[in-house]
Amino acid sequence: MSTIKLNNGHEMPQVGFGCWKVDNATCADTIYNAIKVGYRLFDGAQDYGNEKEVGDGIKLALDEGLVARDELFIVSKLWNNYHDPANVETALDRTLSDLQVDYLDLFYIHFPIAFKYVPHSEKYPPGFYCGDGDNFHYENVPLLDTWKALEKLVQKGKIRSIGISNFSGALILDLLRGAEIPPAVLQIEHHPYLQQPKLIKWVKEKNIAITAYSSFGPQSFVELDHPKVKDCVALFEHKDILSIANTHKRSAAQVLLRWATQRGLAVIPKSNKTERLLANLTVNDFDLSESEIDTISKLDVGLRFNDPWDWDEIPIFH
């Protein structure tokens, strides 16, 4: 298992299992099977609404002795409604309880957006609900205040590493000015149609690791009926990707994942099928040529699927 050494000394598996959109009914079995196949990093979030089931799958594997807790790298993300420092630890404690673990290996700020607080008893996870039907409401909580609350939880031993997700370069630069503990990892949408090379170069220079999500591009958003999906060729069907896959006798998915890992990024694909689980995990045993990497680099068109502007005209990336 290839790992990435984080700026705090911890080792993070380079290929993990993404828990977004894993169906609750089969989630525990899926997580258990992924551990059995060899996955050690599980990337979840409060907003995914399946942390209890993820925890059930992890507990089953631990109880059976398939793996020890210190062999796992368990990840979650602080949702937007809990940015106020008064609510950060309570939110984390809910995640720890649902996952049935004593600490997280990595806890991200999911988005640099502070929604109005919603008590767990009212709705959990709240999603876009801010206590007033479909209307968005916000809190004036600086990101650094939320970050300071997370730093305290590192000191308490409840989190080993803290990270940021869906942050722009300007926000990271500002956060670094006041952070005592620098972010260990940045998680971003990253695929051939959205490559963000300048951000990646700068973040790497700051010794912050990068995890790519939605590595398969539009494929991740088909079931959500995302309007931008129809604007592009599916990467699994793109002639350039298929040509490279044929050269290496690999699947298009493996080529897309290797394109990221060969450039030093971590990836978090998901699948419900055991053979695909294994195929996604074994992507570091072949190399793409420089010309093949250049071919994929030319596919960048800045096509972002996960954009808060589409929620309520929130200009994170604009």
Burial 223-233 (b: 16+ CB within 10 A, else e): eeeeeebeebe
Mean pLDDT by 10 residues, the chain (318 residues): 96 97 95 96 98 98 98 98 98 98 98 98 98 98 98 98 98 98 98 97 98 92 84 93 98 97 97 87 95 97 95 96
HSE, side-chain direction, 13 A CA sphere, residue 149: 20
What per-residue confidence (pLDDT) applies to 198? 98
Rounded Cα distance between 231 and 161, Å, is 37
Burial 62-100 (b: 16+ CB within 10 A, else e): beeeebeeeebbbbbbbbbbbbbeebbbebbebbbebbe
> Do β-strands 106-109 and 162-165 pair in parallel, antiparallel, or remain unpaired?
parallel
What per-residue confidence (pLDDT) applies to 35? 97
What per-residue confidence (pLDDT) applies to 290? 97
SS (HEC) of the chain = CCEEECCCCCEEECECEECCCCCHHHHHHHHHHHHHHCCCEEECCHHHCCHHHHHHHHHHHHHCCCCCHHHCEEEEEECHHHCCHHHHHHHHHHHHHHHCCCCECEEEECCCCCECCCCCCCCCCCCCCCCCCCCCCECCCCHHHHHHHHHHHHHCCCECCEEEECCCHHHHHHHHHHCCCCCCEEEEECECCECCHHHHHHHHHCCCEEEEECCCHHHHHHHHCCHHHHHCCCHHHCHHHHHHHHHHCCCHHHHHHHHHHCCCCEECCCCCCHHHHHHHHCCCCCCCCHHHHHHHHCCCCCCCCCCCHHHHCCCCCC
- C-alpha torsion sign, points 174, 10, 152, 267: positive
What per-residue confidence (pLDDT) applies to 230? 84
Beta bridge partners of 186: 164, 210
pTM (global) more than 0.85: yes
Phi, psi for residue 256 in degrees, rounded to 5: -65, -40
**Residues involved in catalysis:** 48
To the question of whether residue 110 is assigned a binding role by annotation, the answer is yes
Burial degree of 120 (CB within 10 A; 0-12, 13-18, 19+): middle
What's the one-letter identity of residue 226? H
Rounded Cα distance between 101 and 80, Å, is 22
Q: Which CA distances in Å does 73 have to 108, 133, 160? A: 13, 36, 10
What's the one-letter identity of residue 229? V
Residue pointed to by tokens 């500002």: 174
What per-residue confidence (pLDDT) applies to 218? 86
What per-residue confidence (pLDDT) applies to 273? 84
